[in-house]
Amino acid sequence: MDQNLIRPSELIKAFVSKASLKQEVYFKTLQIFRQFKTESEKFISLNSATVGKSKFPLLFEYKDRGDFQFELRFGSDILIFMMHTNIFEFPRDHEVMKTQYIRQDKLRSYCGNIMIFNFLSDSFKYTRSNDLGYLIGRLFVNREQHYFLEGKREVGMLYNNFARTRLNLKTIRSIIYSSILYTINFDLLTPPFENFKEVTQQEMQSQLDSMSIRTGKRIGFRFQADEVVQNGK
């Protein structure tokens, strides 16, 4: 008998073990995402009266987009919080994988993923499908609620000690507030003049018909740091 033959019982055991782990992480992440929704909606509700006293009418609202997505709309910006429905593991060379916390139990490296995107409000208002959005942060959380946060400036300054830090309501609020602060300070830059000094009548008509001028906060520029280098696998 072939000693290398995989037994059905071993196969089923491996499947049940891995699938159960991913389900546990998924439901834990979903629970946390719902807390993000609750805290975001609460933030808008508690501050809408103050914003309403502004000299000019300001966009300031929360929108639920289903189980895995919601939006915070304020001024000229939109923050989209999105939960990925799949479970990820950190790459082998990631700093998290080198910690004693993971070495003691490799199953701790399996995480759910919540992403935060920034778009211009006008991109949706005028259906400008060519406009750019930016990933400003992504949160990884495991079944023990330990988390790792990658992000820009204010977002990335939050604690990232995966082995010691556990996600709680205080941390969730900090992530929401930091994301809003980063977005407020992330200004729209004008493109180089040379990029737009000539335009044909056909191009202009096409742009008028479809609003196809691509707009993003870094229009006309390419920032290597704005690209996501590391992806879950």
Spatial separation of the C-alpha atoms in residues 28 and 166, rounded to whole Å: 13
**pLDDT above 90 coverage of the chain, percent:** 58
Give the pLDDT confidence of 41-86 residue by residue, as tens digits: 999 999 999 999 999 999 999 999 999 999 999 999 999 999 999 9
Give the pLDDT confidence of 6-17 residue by residue, as tens digits: 889 999 999 999
Q: What residue spans define the domains of the chain?
A: 28-222
Enter the pTM of the model. 0.81
E strands, 49-159, where? 60-64, 69-74, 77-83, 88-89, 110-120, 134-141, 147-151
Give the pLDDT confidence of 127-164 residue by residue, as tens digits: 877 778 889 999 999 999 999 998 876 675 556 689 99
Read off the pLDDT band of 219 (50, 70, 90): very low
Q: Which pLDDT score, from 0 to 100, does residue 153 have?
A: 67
Please state, in angstroms and as integers, the Cα–Cα distance from residue 98 to each residue in 134, 147, 160, following that order: 29, 15, 14
CA atoms within 13 A on the CB side of 176: 26
For residue 126 the two structure tokens come to: 């005028």
Dihedral pair phi/psi, residue 140, rounded to 5°: -110, 130
**pLDDT above 70 coverage of the chain, percent:** 76
For residue 98 the two structure tokens come to: 């080198």
Quick check: 24 pLDDT over 80?
Answer: yes
- In this prediction, residues 218-232 reach a mean pLDDT of 38
